[in-house]
Amino acid sequence: MTERWQATGNAASAAGAAGDRLRPPLSPLQSAARARKFGSFYYLEHWLRAMRGYGWTVALTAVGTPLVYLFAMGVGLATLVDANSANGGAALGGASSYLVFVAPALLATAAIMVAADENTYPVMSGFKWRRTYYGPNASPLASHQLVNGHCLGVLCRQLLTTGLYFLFLLLFGAVPAATGWLMILTAALGGLAFGLPVMAYAASIEDDKGQFAMVQRFIVMPLFLFSGTFFPLAAMPPAVRWIGWISPLWHSTELGRVLGYGLAEPAWLSAVRMVYLAALAAAGWLLARRIYARRLGK
């Protein structure tokens, strides 16, 4: 019986190889037409293959970061907050515990951090140091396809990171609602809303003079601290609440809280949040396309 299966498999392989030999090769014009049609996915493939070079870093970050934060919040800070909270869940927007309250914010923050990592130095490297954009740009691929492929690659890493993060949230009992898995999508949307404008900014820089360090210190960190991440935005002084109002992190976090534990929020407000995040992402994408086309001349 085993020999018969092996013979069948060998025959099928031989038939497939023969079919490949009989299939005429693509002409240069056909190859160029295919590249123009599927160029975004070709560059996505290149991006994913390049990511394998630091795949262990991606995997360890995706696993280690949620463990560290969840132990700190679930075993450390959450214990203190829950033990000393006078109003219980009312002070936390209806969350049953502090860990349940902060979990959507940690998930959304993970997507923002991935966007900050992948849309700063790697983008500038494609133009200045490694110049990885110029080879594909010399082929039939268009500059906007390089933008699309990079965006899709970053989205893949965001979904991987937030998906693993969500699994840890489940293990810690931090997602009581059945709709909680949708937080992965809202977190990724928040990451795109933040990352695509940053990508456009990075593409416009010709010399590294510490701009990305400034982005981390004066944009990423304030958003992390003042976007209702660790406590409701209403509990913050009015002078700094505006940071949360314009922050993609706050809007994606609030959407996550609606999905994760049923934060009471009007449906129209949730819709406005999604439209705002989508508008930021679209504006960044259009601006990035324009800057890539100007710098690459195509």
- pLDDT tens readout for residues 99-155: 899 999 999 999 999 999 999 999 999 999 999 999 998 888 999 999 999 999 999
Q: Does the structure show a pLDDT above 80 at 9?
A: no
Q: What is the pLDDT of residue 193?
A: 97
On whether residue 13 sits in a domain, the answer given is no
Q: What is the pLDDT of residue 189?
A: 97
Q: Does the structure show a pLDDT above 80 at 64?
A: no
Tally of domains within the chain: 1
On whether residue 12 sits in a domain, the answer given is no
Least confident of 85-99, 122-136, 195-209: 85-99
pTM of the full structure: 0.86
Between 121 and 22, residue with greater pLDDT: 121
Q: Residues in the chain, how many?
A: 298
Q: What is the pLDDT of residue 50?
A: 87
Provide the pLDDT confidence category of residue 53 given band limits of 50, 70 and 90.
confident
On whether residue 163 sits in a domain, the answer given is yes
On whether residue 4 sits in a domain, the answer given is no
- Containing structural domain, residue 61: 22-296
Q: What is the pLDDT of residue 3?
A: 45
Q: Does the structure show a pLDDT above 50 at 199?
A: yes
On whether residue 51 sits in a domain, the answer given is yes
On whether residue 241 sits in a domain, the answer given is yes
Least confident of 62-71, 174-183, 228-237: 62-71
Q: 138-144: long-range contacts (C-beta < 8 A, 24 or more apart)?
A: 139/35, 140/31, 140/32, 140/33, 140/35, 140/36, 140/39, 141/35, 141/36, 141/39, 141/42, 141/43, 142/36, 142/39, 142/298, 143/289, 143/292, 143/293, 143/296, 143/298, 144/289, 144/292, 144/293
> Using CA atoms, how far apart are residues 20 and 179, in angstroms rounded to an integer?
46
Tokens of 185: 């999508």
Q: Does the structure show a pLDDT above 60 at 224?
A: yes
Cα angle at 237 between 259 and 183, to 5 degrees? 15
Provide the pLDDT confidence category of residue 6 given band limits of 50, 70 and 90.
very low
> Using CA atoms, how far apart are residues 14 and 143, in angstroms rounded to an integer?
41
Q: What is the pLDDT of residue 90?
A: 56
Q: Rounding to the nearest 10 degrees, give the CA dihedral for residues 60, 62, 65, 70.
A: -130
Q: Exposed, middle or buried by CB within 10 Å (0-12, 13-18, 19+), for 78? A: buried
Using alpha carbons, select from 226, 230, 154, 146 the residue that is nearest to residue 190: 154
Q: What is the rounded average pLDDT of the residues 50-59?
A: 80
Q: Does the structure show a pLDDT above 60 at 18?
A: no
Q: What is the rounded average pLDDT of the residues 30-57?
A: 84
Q: What is the pLDDT of residue 44?
A: 94
On whether residue 251 sits in a domain, the answer given is yes
Using alpha carbons, select from 104, 113, 66 the residue that is nearest to residue 181: 104
Least confident of 4-18, 25-39, 260-274: 4-18
Q: What is the rounded average pLDDT of the residues 172-190?
A: 94
On whether residue 14 sits in a domain, the answer given is no
Q: Does the structure show a pLDDT above 70 at 253?
A: yes
Provide the pLDDT confidence category of residue 215 given band limits of 50, 70 and 90.
very high
DSSP, collapsed to helix, strand or coil, labels residue 236 as coil
H or E segment at 115?
A: helix 98-118
